[in-house]
Amino acid sequence: MKTRTLVSLVLAFCLGLSLFCTACGSADVKVDYEKVEDFEAALNAGDDLTGKVVTFTVSELIPDSAFGYNMTAGEHLNFCSSKNPGAKAGDTVTVKVTEVQSMLGSWIISYEKVK
C-alpha cells in the first residue's frame, strides 16, 4: 500500500508540474497598438517602435513587391517580409516590429509574426 501511495503522489506531482509549465508557455502577448491609426500616428511623430507589438487588418497582400511579401495597412504602412505571412486581405494579424524605414512617404516595416 505504501508503494501505491508513493506512486500516486509522484504521478500527481508530475501532472501538476506539467500543467504549470504548459500554462507558463501560453501567456498572451501584450499588444502595444490595437489600432493601426495610433501606430501610424506614433511613427509620424518620430517614435521608435522597434520591439512594439501591433494588430492590424491586412488591406492587401502583395506577394511580389520589391520588399518581398507586403501586407498593406493604414494609409502608408507596408509590413514586409521575405517569408510568406500566410495572410490574405481582410485577415487580422499581430506582429512584433523588428525594423522601420521611411521610404518615399511610406513606412517599410519588418516584423516577426506573433499570432
**Residue 86: per-residue pLDDT:** 95
**Residue 26: per-residue pLDDT:** 47
Which domains are seen in the chain, by residue range? 36-113 (2.40.50.140)
**Residue 22: per-residue pLDDT:** 41
Can you say whether residue 2 is alpha, beta or left, with left for phi > 0 and alpha for psi between -120 and 50 degrees?
Answer: alpha
Tell me how far apart the alpha carbons of residues 92 and 53 are, in angstroms, rounded to a whole number. Answer: 13
Give the residues of the chain that fall short of pLDDT 50. Answer: 6-23, 25-26
**Residue 64: per-residue pLDDT:** 95
